[in-house]
Amino acid sequence: DWLENIRDWCISRQIWWGHRIPAWTHKQTGEVIVSKDPPANAEDYEQDPDVLDTWF
């Protein structure tokens, strides 16, 4: 039975396809915002470059 041998794995990957992780880090302060929408002053933030290796 495959469920007996199942192991956890990291759901974020550094690949070009997938769902972008909805997290942004402020370039100056390091503040992290998690939201379905980008922050109002998005130019001051950098979105997490990883993607979710999942299907929704």
Furthest-apart CA atoms within the chain: distance in Å:
50
Quick check: 32 and 24 in contact, CB under 8 A? yes
Domain boundaries, the chain: 23-56
**3 state SS of 2:** helix
Looking at residue 50, its pLDDT comes to: 81
Looking at residue 14, its pLDDT comes to: 63
Quick check: 38 and 45 in contact, CB under 8 A? yes
- The predicted model scores a pTM of 0.64
Looking at residue 42, its pLDDT comes to: 92
Give, rounded to a whole angstrom, the gap between the first and last alpha carbons of the chain: 25
Q: What is the pLDDT along the chain (56 residues), one digit of tens a residue?
A: 677 877 776 666 666 666 788 999 999 999 999 998 999 999 999 998 887 766 55
Residue 45 and residue 18: Cα distance in Å, rounded?
21
